[in-house]
């Protein structure tokens, strides 16, 4: 008995689409697609684009559930947007879940994009088969999530796993969340770029590969902060696998190598050779895969 599950991942630039096939004991990606978000045109236009992307997918295959990955916070029961910090327009209070559900006539579950990433990587990707998996995405911001025995762990208030919002430097730079010295505020891609005097993280990695001193120093400082943050995660959560995704992780061992070294230096209570820090498996479609899973596992 197979069933189909649609995932839509609302990003600042693209809406990613994934159709998953669920078989007796596994999931497979049936197809993927990507369309422009047109974020600058505001909530109505973005919602119309989500609906259009969903319709196009449903014309190709009939899904049983819809999972919607979103870049921010929302009311679990209301399905209304609380805060999409990186999408322009009047999103607060917007009834996004119900608008999508009514237009596509499909049961719809909303999930935060970092949690969707965690589901995808933890259940089907680089964390598959491990007991306790911590996932982070590194890019313009820093998302995180925890998976225990295949279940997302959200804690008493639904926000556990926000690995980027632990304080790493007392009275450090102001974070988007209001706190000072959060890990995210120290390792965001724009911070990395400005520390190295370059215009993007990609340029910093190119510079570091070519041996530019300032780029090498900026990457190693970022790895140092991430090493502290992840060592804290190891001490509190005890993962047997940490999955690192997002734009910054695409630099591969240039970033992951120093992070592994920094974690090893700080962790004393856990056998670090049994703890692997690995790159994500799904690339840019991880969020959409996870959104589809969020719908499927609640169905």
**Binding residues for Zn ion (CB under 5 A):** 165, 175, 177, 179, 182
Q: Which is nearer to Zn ion, 90 or 177 (CB)?
A: 177
Distance of CA 43 to the CA centre of its chain: 22
Q: Which is nearer to Zn ion, 16 or 165 (CB)?
A: 165
C-beta separation of 240 from 275 below 8 A: yes
Cα atoms in the 13 Å half-sphere on the side-chain side of 32 = 17
CB of 187 to Zn ion, least distance (A): 11
CB of 209 to Zn ion, least distance (A): 30
Distance between CA atoms of 279 and 297, rounded to whole angstroms?
24
CB of 172 to Zn ion, least distance (A): 10
Q: Three-state SS string across 243-299, please?
A: EEECHHHHHCHHHHHHHHHHHHHHCCCCCHHHCEEEECCCHHHHHHHHHHHHHHHHC
Q: Which is nearer to Zn ion, 120 or 182 (CB)?
A: 182
Cβ neighbours of 174 (radius 10 Å): 12
CB of 169 to Zn ion, least distance (A): 12
CB of 167 to Zn ion, least distance (A): 8
Q: Which is nearer to Zn ion, 179 or 200 (CB)?
A: 179
Q: Which is nearer to Zn ion, 179 or 220 (CB)?
A: 179
Q: Cβ neighbours of residue 41 under 8 Å, at least 6 residues apart?
A: 89
């Amino acid at each position: 008995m197979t069933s189909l599950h649609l995932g839509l991942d609302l990003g600042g630039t693209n809406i990613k689409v994934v159709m998953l096939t669920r078989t007796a004991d596994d999931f497979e990606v049936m197809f993927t697609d990507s369309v422009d978000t047109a974020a600058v045109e505001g909530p109505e236009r973005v919602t119309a684009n989500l609906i259009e992307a969903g319709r196009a997918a449903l014309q190709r295959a009939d899904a049983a559930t819809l999972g919607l990955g979103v870049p921010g916070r929302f009311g679990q029961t209301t399905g209304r947007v609380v805060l999409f910090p990186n999408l322009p327009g009047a999103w607060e209070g917007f009834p996004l879940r119900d608008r999508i559900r009514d237009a596509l006539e499909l049961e719809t579950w909303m999930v935060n994009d970092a949690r969707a990433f965690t589901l995808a990587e933890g259940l089907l990707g680089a964390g598959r088969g491990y007991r306790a998996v911590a996932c982070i995405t590194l890019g313009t911001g820093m998302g995180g999530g925890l998976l225990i025995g295949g279940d997302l762990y959200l804690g008493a208030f639904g926000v556990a796993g926000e690995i980027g919002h632990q304080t790493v430097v007392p009275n450090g730079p102001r974070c988007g969340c209001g706190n000072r010295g959060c890990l995210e505020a120290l390792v965001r891609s724009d911070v990395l770029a400005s520390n190295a005097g370059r215009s993007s993280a990609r340029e910093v990695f190119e510079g570091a590969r070519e041996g530019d001193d300032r780029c090498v120093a900026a990457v190693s400082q970022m790895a140092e902060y991430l090493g502290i943050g992840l060592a804290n995660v190891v001490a509190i959560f005890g993962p047997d696998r940490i999955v690192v995704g997002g734009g910054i992780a695409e630099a591969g061992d240039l970033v992951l190598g120093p992070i592994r070294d920094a974690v090893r230096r700080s962790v004393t209570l856990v056998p670090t050779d049994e703890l692997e820090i690995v790159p994500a498996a799904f690339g840019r479609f991880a969020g959409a895969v996870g959104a589809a899973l969020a719908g499927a596992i609640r169905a």
